[in-house]
Structure 1
Amino acid sequence: MRKILHGFILLLLCSPCCGWAAADQTEVRAVSIKSAVLAEQRELVVYLPAGYQQSNERYPVFYLTDGDIQGPHTAGTIDYLAKFEQMPPMIVVGIVNRQHRERDLTLTPKDQQKPNQPQNADQFLAFVENEVIPYVKQNYRTLDYQVLSGTSHGGQFAINALVKRPGLFNAIIAISPSLYWDNNQLLGLTEQALKQQRLQGRLFVSIANEEPTMTAPYQQFVDLLGRFPSDNLVVASQTFSDETHNTTVLQGQYVALKHVFAGWAIPEGQPQTLADLQAKFASRAKLLKTDLMIPEDKANGYGQWLQYLNRPQDALVLLQWNRTNYPQSFHAHTALINAYLHFKMAAEAKAAQKDALQSLKGLSTDQKAQLEALVI
């Protein structure tokens, strides 16, 4: 019985994820923009989520340093997690740092700083904020939700962005950040910001099996976060002891994304009522600052699961909601009719059949015949 139920759930809820077509894969675009801030041409690699061209939806954006190197696997991880509803699909913007990586991503040494003149990582952050982000918003369908991720010097850059521009990004991911740079300069800046309660959003930091030059300042950073907790900053940290500095990124991004979107997933193996689904989608909508509605196929799937479990009130409430909100969905109508029949509610099934035949537009001959055959 348990195996049958498990198979039924997989068929009902996961079948769209199990037959991915080539047209549903991520689209990659190479972009070149002229930067006034940096006085040079800069390259981006933009990864559009599966289905972007076939929809009018807007998407949160994931900004990533070393985008030509880290972009492909990160976009793949996001696509995979999104397909299984562990997080929303995202536009991934990989910023290429190949030629001027140290200059772009590291802080200016204290003895070389010029008053009121951003340099190095601060200047590059100004480029990201004032040129990259506006370009992406202008050319792609985006939501007002942004994540910044970086590794090594990119992790240093990401934490610097958290400290210097709190609120610019909703979440920061820093994998094996080079916090030793310029005698741990970033640790002092972070401590000041933490004491002033200026930091906000979600933060994930991690380290691998690395030399003390990397691990000692990292541990000091984690200790700082623990000493100055804030309700406005949700922190997670992890050590990947089986990974090296170069191999930790793939696993780090996966765990980081699960932290950033904690609470996004619908619990697996549990039937969901209309109230459950509405609460989940309300939470998602609040996070992304947009309107979201339960998809028709998801409401249908959970409605049929509740029907299978012989929970008539819960099943019918959900399937009735689905028909009302998707009045031109053939499947929403037929699922409700079948539920009425399953629960031996012949009069209600007949009325739902009549409603479907009258309200559905553009019925094919086969669809009309299917509807008429449901209730004789």
Structure 2
Amino acid sequence: MKGVMYFDQAASSWPKPPAVMDAMMQCMHEFAANPGRGSHQMAVKASRVLFETRKNTARLFGIRNPNDISFALNTTHALNQAIKGFVKAGDHVICTNIEHNSVRRPLEYLKASAQVELTYIPSDEQGNIRLDELKKAFKPNTTLVVVNHSSNLLGTIMPVGEIGDICRAQGVRLLVDAAQSAGILPIDVAGMNIDMLAFPGHKGLLGPQGTGGLYIHPDIDLEPLLHGGTGSQSEAIHQPTVRPDRYEAGTQNTVGIAGLNEGVKFVLAETVEKIHEKEWRQTQLLMEGLLGIEGVTVLGPMLGQNKTGIVSFNINDADSSEVAFILDQSFQIAVRSGYHCTPLAHEAAGTLAKGAVRASIGYFTTDNEVVALIDAVKEIQTQYAK
């Protein structure tokens, strides 16, 4: 929308690179057929775009075999496939207390329905966990550790590589929620000992909504979340064993994946290092400005500490939803307020009673927009102080 300063990148990135929209329109006009369901030229071209997207995504995440990536609707879909497809009755699962509901709810569902044991590793107010607490949490029946790479409330970056080393030493699988890190932080599934990686297409990868995926280690066989047509092994009564078809029942979002391919290519060209450096600099600019306003509290890692482009804050005792409404209606600034689907993180941060305003920076955010947000918060705080 023209004139809107968009600080809700953690929910969905905007704007998108022009090539993303161009690829989607080209697909609609030229080859929006059903991939893997026919041998005619349009279906073949659709299949090629899907495989090219797998190859580019595999390159970004250090994945050797692109077919170990199955496409999903979003990170939530991917996490449900990973958790419900892997965890069995009687298993013990470890996660942190700053996980998103897309992790917490499937795990709590299994705890209630399949006698799965669950341990939450506590964090401090900034979202950091102690690795010795993780080591002490392992049990003989522990099969999985689930951790978000970066908190969607606090911006805290988890030491995934070290957690992966601990899991490998224990013989336990590691599932990483990359909702806030894919396309923003370096990810190497082999170097970080990541066994499953759930990622969105519509956030840091700059693709459209309705896209995402799950990397599954070749030694892991998940029970498919969905069963149905795949275009392969059609004569079999059970779901195919071949990847990625085993986890991709039904027609894929070819148009969206064509757009995702261009978003991934954009990230590869710019590099995640450059993207993170730019977002971190603007994050520091925003934090410094907000911390200079009396009555404003900023959550998460402190100024100068590494984090993603998420800055959550509160103004005195003001309701976070009211602050977000004023920013939207009076200043044309889009942020998100409330609990951000992560109540445990709010509990850790001490904001469970009132939530928080979350401003999140993206690659196309400008310095002028950051300054405008700081000035707007300053003006709102002045009104509340009267």
TM tier relative to shorter chain: under 0.3
Relative contact order (C-alpha < 8 Å, sep 6+): which is higher?
Answer: 2
- Name the TM-score, length of structure 2 as normaliser: 0.26
Q: Is the radius of gyration larger for structure 1 or structure 2?
A: 1
Larger helix share, 1 or 2: 1
- Name the TM-score, length of structure 1 as normaliser: 0.26
